[in-house]
Each structure stands twice: as structure tokens, then as C-alpha cells.
Structure 1
């Protein structure tokens, strides 16, 4: 018989959110098991893979999927894991390993702006959150102190306490952008989970231009650090544990989860409270996979909303040549942005957006482009030097509203373990498209202020994806229109909580991890007071029982 495991809390997913949530329980003396579908990996392994990869612009190349825990890969070709149902493709990229996808994130740790949580009341679009920005502020602060966040204060998101750190040193190119755009636009340093000084036992950023796919010195926080902290505090983290079913009892309480190991041997894990902390694709997939006679639509799905309201942040962009030499590629890859267009009465008509500047070195991309054009010899050297020195790129980061038809379902195709693959149904509505159209005027003005020439807009109607998976298990007070309540507890199951960016009711214009973590910390605090001190009758036990 397969080994059986049990703990007070069983956490599915070992990323920043899952591991940090687990750590809160461990601090109170509870026993915790963390289940991760993918394998362990170390920073030196990832750095070596990146250095050896022939596709330096492919940030997924250092993270090959395990056969027993596949994830989407698109280069050199689509591996077909995330099935596309259209009408617009949704090429999400995420990683199933210990620590999760933030191993290769840009570490942008923005807060929402207060009105993001009230867009239905204020602008007549989307939905309102079940709590206010002011209620979330202390959990934002807690998340920032855990990760080590540096940033400027003038971002449109009020705060009751200062950032843990001052901003990371500004690259020369970004300083020139800020100075030249100042008459029209306020350019600020991005809020990032990246050290500007020694913090958390990790060094300050030294300017490596490879934040994505990997910070080689761990100046940037990631889920691998969070997972290690949880293990150090006593969590039993089981890698290569691909959860394929959640089991409930006759009353609808969750009794156990079942996972496959790489040999497809099945294991059962029992617990008192279960935390689903995978992302906004894998979490609804698991809930749908767990359908039963009692819950034929899947678990937590009496509302029919599991998998629905998928959101991200699509982008269009402008690439142009500035009149002065700037030489992108020194310092972090995404250091500065414009944040004054994130909110306003216009939101009743079109999507708000941030404007984000890249600092990624132009050498590799320009070289490939020129070679593709048949340029070589002295002409290649001349044109490459010019492009590397002068080329700039700015993109918008657009809000997507929650729409039920944008959703994750189960495909009729199966992965290598025989589990149905996730399938994405996705479209980009007129609200977002109008925001993209409006932003073109900002693109043109920025190019003008930089003395730009050779303007190359992204193809009309074409949107890049930013991999900020939101929605699909939205929180709300009404069990008929949401999956979890305002504290992340599933309406249908009293001992199943979801901590994931998938519970965010709206997406705003900011990267989702920071907000997802803040909401998860609020959930953990809600759960913990209900537990008696360790050692009293019915209290969490110390250690893992088998």
C-alpha cells in the first residue's frame, strides 16, 4: 500500500504564495505538508542552463518541463500543453518546479491603486472587491517586508509605512528617459522585489541584465527562497507530487488529496485544512478534475464560476531609435515606468494602463534581425552598433475586465500522466482594445520627446501576453457569482481555502504576484485565530504524522 501522509495544513503549490502561506501556519506550531508537482531545482543549475541555451531570449529555456509535471512551452515549438480554444490565443508561460514561476519573473511588486477595487461602483465596469484597499494595506506591507521590496513613493498607491528599501540604482538610459520626458510624463523607478542593499541575507543588485530568466546572485526574491524558508521552519515539502484529485466526505468537507509520483504511483494525503495555492490555470483545472457524484461540475463550483473570468495584462508596444546613445542593457531589465494613466474617469470608456520601459540589451535581438535581413560584414557592425546604442522600447500594460467567457476548462486531450490538459478560451474585448488605441498617442509623444526616428509599432490587433494570470476562482460575498469568500474560503467547502492570484476579482494594471501574496496573508491571518495554541485539545500538532 502507498504511504499515507497527514498534517494540520496541506498546501498544494510551492510558489511564493503557497510557501509563504505555509510559513504563517508553521510559525504558530502547526504541521504543514507542501505538495509540488515539479522537481527541485537550484539557482546554479538554472544559471548553467541559461548560459548554455542557444535561445537567450527564450526565458523558459532554463526551465524544461518534467514529463510527470508538464507546463506550457512555446519555443522552439508549442508543446501543446495549454490547449488553445480561441478566439484569441492565450500563450501563458508558467513553471512547475519547487518555488514556482517567480524563479524567472521581473520582480515587479506593484500595489493596486485604491480605485482598482471599486471599478464597478465608480466606473460601471467589472466588479467591486469584497474589501477595500485600506484593509489590504497592512498585508501589502507585510508582503513587501517578506520579499524585500524597493521603490519610489509616487506611484499612485498610498501606503501607511515606507518601503523596506530605497529604489535600486537607476540605469543611465532610464535617467535620460526620465529627464527628457519630465515636461510631459513623470517617469518613476519600478517597485520591485529586488535588493538595493543587503537584505534578508541576500546581496544588493549588481546590475546583471538577466533578471528574466534568472538573477544569478539572488538579489531578486523568488519562490525558491520562500520554499526554502518554509522547509527551514519545519514544512515537509514533497516535490514531484502531481496532485490529480481532491477528495471530499459526505458533508462536503475536504478529506484528502491524491497525487502521482513520477512513476504514476498514487499517494493519499490527509489533513484538517487544505490550501490550494497553484496558479490561475492549474488550480481551476484541479477543481474541475475533482468532480464527483455530489459535485458533478467540480469542487467549489456550485456557482459555475470555477475557471471563469480569466484575466491577464496584454500589451502593445513601440520600438524606435532615440537621437542620443543610451545603450540599454546595464542594470535590471525593467527598471522604470509611467504610472499616471492607471486611473481616471476614462475607465468607464476604456482600459487604463501603465507604460513600461525595457532595459533589455538590444545586441542579441538586433543581431538576429540584421542577419535575417541578409546584412553582414562591415555593414552589420555599423548597423548593430547603432541599434544597440539607440534603440528603445515602450509598452503598455492594459487592464482586462473579468468576462465569464474568458475561462479555463478541461481539454479532451491528456498529458503524459493521463490527466486532461487545461484548455484556454480567451478573447480581448473592445474595452482593452480602446485602451491600446489611446496609448498610441502616448507612444508617439514619448518618441517625439526622445528625438525618435524609425518608429515601429506592434502589429495592429496584435497583443503580447505578460503572464500575469488572474481570475478563474474569483472572491466575493455572493456564493452565486464567486468561488471563494472575502477570506479565500470556498463557499462550498468549509476547510478548503484558495491562495492564488486566481482569486483576484479584477486585474488592474499591475503585476499580480504582490497583490496575490497580500491577499493570501490576509487569508492566513483569518485562519490562524481559529486555531488554539499548540498542545491544547484540538490544536495544531507539532510535526508530521504518518
Structure 2
């Protein structure tokens, strides 16, 4: 057992949430230690890993991020594998087959960079529509933190208020940068959808549009956001870590937290972690932030059970690990008689969100629609090869499919449900720690939406585009927007954290990010996670000032 120096703030996790909190704490004069389960790598290594992949792995965004044995995830994402890291069960287990990396910088290495805010209505599902839960505060409370998060990440977005989301909700500050232009495929999609009453909006994105920002260059349209932005035009937390270290923060990589230690008065005293040699270490602090993600955070809390906390740390309500959410996704491939030309610019650049709002939400889920803007050359090649073609015929078919196919996607709004639950599997990882076991059912709210609303809408979209072929994958898939698990609320009996993401049970323990989100909405979750991180950071700094 090795003891480290005591810090003011100990942060477990180095993704966007951990980095935002660490930097704000350092700016307030506090000492900060960050723990990361996985390794630290430079961008060029990931880029070269991607370049050197065989064609069979090019579609696997996780392949350039080989996991070390002490921080597994990616090599075992197939359901039914005996050694799969996520032990998934339930009627829609595939819809929770999440993708994330345990590297310094977290999932921001490979995120799309999309930053849709939730709407005022998204925060009041129970009071407006009689479903789900209401958040513990309103949109006006969250809005200033959204604005701060947009400047912290460097978000570009439309200057025209008619194209901003949410509609009619006042903004305290404009976006830091103007929007990126839509590629030709997305522009055509926008124009064709408008007569159907479907407004395809340019997405706010954490990437630089035409100018450098925060030391990062402007986006040059590599269309390589998955698995990594090769020039760091898109925000990722890895770009924030050197700045954190320059301000005096300390980073420990390959440090797998496995236990949170509380004293007799329920105050958190230390975090225990394993290094790659399976040696245990103990770090102490005055405030602790568990900023892993919506899977790893509840897993760590449950692993930390002791005689005083038989259900785990922060779990007197028995809500830790419950209410696991993601936006269940459906995909449809369309084939056209003329080119769509996707692949110019970022892999995602726009979405339809007016389909996520309305009184129908009392009966079925709202949803976000988009056409993916990913270049389809390798996809077209794979499909052409299946046809047994060769020579000139193969070349022509690759070109045709690359230009004339597209992917329509719909992501459904989830409801928090106590049955969608993370517990500890009896299967162990390389370190001997219990793996996460997750039961997942998208629920009738989502199923009704798919049957009555979203699948018919996808078919209308395909018809309007002039598709000659429509191929729907009927299976709900994951969107990698991990939410719930440490749900926020005012009542300690049915929630895990308060309005500042502080544990109800432990005054110096904070559990910010996606796990604290009360509902999920239809849009990407990262900017909401970042806003909650900044709100928690304010509370942490204020707590030190009054201590």
C-alpha cells in the first residue's frame, strides 16, 4: 500500500467533466490530483494506428485504441462473449452495448463534437406530460452554465436565431464562433425535408469553424471525427490536460480506482486504486469528484460497499446504478439513383429536432433525426465486394455506392426507469474487479414511438429523397450517450445527488456528468454533462471558501 500526498480535490476520470472541474478548481487556488484508469497517448499514435488498420477493421472506431488488460472495454463489445466487459441482459441488451475508451481524455477522443442543448420542456417531462421525472431546477438555472460550457469547449453554431436550438429560449451569450457550412449531401437533405415540415438545423459543434480557438486549428473537413480528429480542431479533453498540468494539476495514468473510503461520519477520506502491477495505492483529499462516466461511476460506488454502507457509497436511496439511459437508435440505409455526396466536412453536421417536441410526448417518445455525413467510400467498397464483382465492374459499383447511398438515423428520447439497472456481475476483470452487469429495456414509450412515429417518418424521408432502396435495421442500437445511474433530485430517498451533483449521503463527494442527468432528451448529452460539471465546480469552490 502506497500513500500519496493529500490534495484539496481528487478527480477520478479525465474526460470533459473531470477536466472542466479540475481546471476551475486550480484557477481557484486548490490543489488537484486526477486519476485515469488507462494510458496517456499522443494524437499521432492514434492517427497512425488508424492508418495502419486492415480494411476489415476500418469501420470499428475503437480499433485504434487498444485497451490495456487493467482497463478493458473495447475488445469485448460483442454480446454473448464469455469474457465481455459489459455483462448485458434484458430485452434490448444490444441497445446498451456502449462504446467508450479508458484513455486520458476519455470518450472525447472519439465523440462527434455535437452540442445540442436540452429544451425547457425536456426538463419538465412529469409536470408537462405526466411521464418520467422533472429536473430539480428549470432551464433558466441551467442556461448560464450551457453558455460557459460552450466557451470552455469552443462551440461553433448558427448566428441566425431562427436556426438555433432550443427555439425561443433566450441565450445569455452567442456562440463563440459562427457555424460550419453544410456539405452538399446535408444541404440537399435540408432542402428536401423542409416541405415535410422537418427543419434540419446546423448543429452546434465543439470544433473550430474557420478560425483557431483555444490554441486549436480550424476544422479542415477531414471527415475523420471517428475515431480521432487528426489535427485537434475538435475539442477533446486530451488537449486540456497539458494546460491543467501547467497550472499545477497532477495526473496519474494507469490508475484504476476500485474503492472509495468513507469515515464513521460518512465523509469521504480516500480513493484506492490499482496500478498495472496490481499494487494498491491510497490517495487522500478534502473533496472528491467521481467523473468517470455513467457506467464506471456507479460501478465504482457499488464496489465501495462496506459495513457502514452495505449498498455501496452514496447509495442510501438504492438508486445508484438505476435509471440507466441512452437514446435508442434506429438506422436505415437508403440508395439513390443520383449522388448524395456525403462526406464533405464533419461526420455529423446537422439534425432535425422539432420532432422531439410536442404534446404527443405524453404517449410516446420524441426523437432526433439526421442523415449521417460520413464518407461512404469504404462502406461502398465493402458492399460492392459482396456482389462478387471484379475489374471495371467492381470499380464502377464502388463509385456508385459511395456516392449514391446514405444513412438515416433516429435517436429516441428515453425515460428514466428503475428496472434499467447496473449491478456488479460475478464475472471479474483482469484486476479481479467485478464487471458491470446491465439490464436494459427501451420500454413501451420508445417502442410506441418507433411504431407510430419514427419508422413511418423515416420512410417518408426516404421517399422524399427519391430513394430507390430503403433498408431498415429494426434492432434498437446504442447511441453511446450514457446517462442515469446517479440520478439527480431534491429528495434523498429517490435520488443520488442534489442540484450541484453533490452526493446526498456524503458532503464532500461529487458525482457530476451524464450519470446525474434526470432525463435524456433526444440530443447528444455532452454539453449538458459539461454544464453540470461547471455547476458542480462552482459548488466545490464555494464549499472550500466556507470551510
Does TM, normalized by the shorter one, top 0.5?
Answer: yes
1:186 aligns with 2:199: yes
Please give the TM-score of this superposition, normalised by the length of structure 1.
0.95
Question: In the TM superposition, what is the alpha-carbon distance from 1:338 to its structure 2 partner?
Answer: 1.0
Question: In the TM superposition, what is the alpha-carbon distance from 1:76 to its structure 2 partner?
Answer: 8.3
Residue 446 of structure 1: aligned partner:
461
Residue 541 of structure 1: aligned partner:
none
Question: In the TM superposition, what is the alpha-carbon distance from 1:471 to its structure 2 partner?
Answer: 0.2
Residue 101 of structure 2: aligned partner:
95
CA contact (8 A) 1:72 1:92 kept: no
Question: In the TM superposition, what is the alpha-carbon distance from 1:188 to its structure 2 partner?
Answer: 1.5
Residue 57 of structure 1: aligned partner:
59
Residue 45 of structure 2: aligned partner:
45
1:381 aligns with 2:381: no
Single out whichever of 30-39 and 70-79 deviates more from structure 2: 70-79
Residue 483 of structure 2: aligned partner:
470
| Partner Cα distance (1:471, 1:487) in 2 | 15
1:486 aligns with 2:499: yes
1:392 aligns with 2:396: no
Secondary structure of the 1:226 match is: helix
| Partner Cα distance (2:240, 2:206) in 1 | 13
Match among 244, 255, 264 for residue 230 of structure 1: 244
1:409 aligns with 2:411: no
Secondary structure of the 1:245 match is: strand
Question: In the TM superposition, what is the alpha-carbon distance from 1:499 to its structure 2 partner?
Answer: 1.4
CA contact (8 A) 1:13 1:34 kept: yes
1:522 aligns with 2:535: yes
| Partner Cα distance (1:72, 1:46) in 2 | 15
CA contact (8 A) 1:259 1:266 kept: yes
CA contact (8 A) 1:276 1:500 kept: no
Secondary structure of the 2:479 match is: coil
Question: In the TM superposition, what is the alpha-carbon distance from 1:327 to its structure 2 partner?
Answer: 1.9
| Partner Cα distance (2:458, 2:226) in 1 | 24
> Quick one: structure 1 residues 76 and 286, their matched pair in 2 at CA, closer, same or farther if it must change by over 3 Å?
closer
1:61-72 aligned within 5 A: 61-72=63-74
| Partner Cα distance (2:321, 2:529) in 1 | 17
Residue 247 of structure 1: aligned partner:
261
Question: In the TM superposition, what is the alpha-carbon distance from 1:410 to its structure 2 partner?
Answer: 0.4
| 5+ long unaligned stretches in structure 1 | 539-546
CA contact (8 A) 2:62 2:74 kept: no
Deviations 1:53-97 (A, max 9, x none): 121110000111111111243478955011112232121111111
RMSD: 1.5
CA contact (8 A) 1:322 1:447 kept: no
Single out whichever of 143-152 and 68-77 deviates more from structure 2: 68-77
Secondary structure of the 1:73 match is: helix
CA contact (8 A) 2:92 2:476 kept: no
1:121-520 aligned within 5 A: 121-152=127-158, 153=161, 154-157=163-166, 158=169, 159-184=171-196, 185-196=198-209, 197-437=211-451, 438-459=453-474, 462-520=475-533
Question: In the TM superposition, what is the alpha-carbon distance from 1:389 to its structure 2 partner?
Answer: 1.3
| Partner Cα distance (2:223, 2:45) in 1 | 18
Secondary structure of the 1:409 match is: strand
Deviations 1:484-532 (A, max 9, x none): 1111111111111111210001100111111011011111112212323
Question: In the TM superposition, what is the alpha-carbon distance from 1:453 to its structure 2 partner?
Answer: 1.0
| Partner Cα distance (1:225, 1:288) in 2 | 31
| 5+ long unaligned stretches in structure 2 | none
| Partner Cα distance (2:33, 2:401) in 1 | 51
Secondary structure of the 1:8 match is: strand
> Quick one: structure 1 residues 274 and 229, their matched pair in 2 at CA, closer, same or farther if it must change by over 3 Å?
same
CA contact (8 A) 1:313 1:399 kept: yes
Secondary structure of the 2:437 match is: strand
Number of equivalent positions? 532
Please give the TM-score of this superposition, normalised by the length of structure 2.
0.95
Residue 25 of structure 1: aligned partner:
25
> Quick one: structure 1 residues 521 and 282, their matched pair in 2 at CA, closer, same or farther if it must change by over 3 Å?
same
Secondary structure of the 1:182 match is: helix
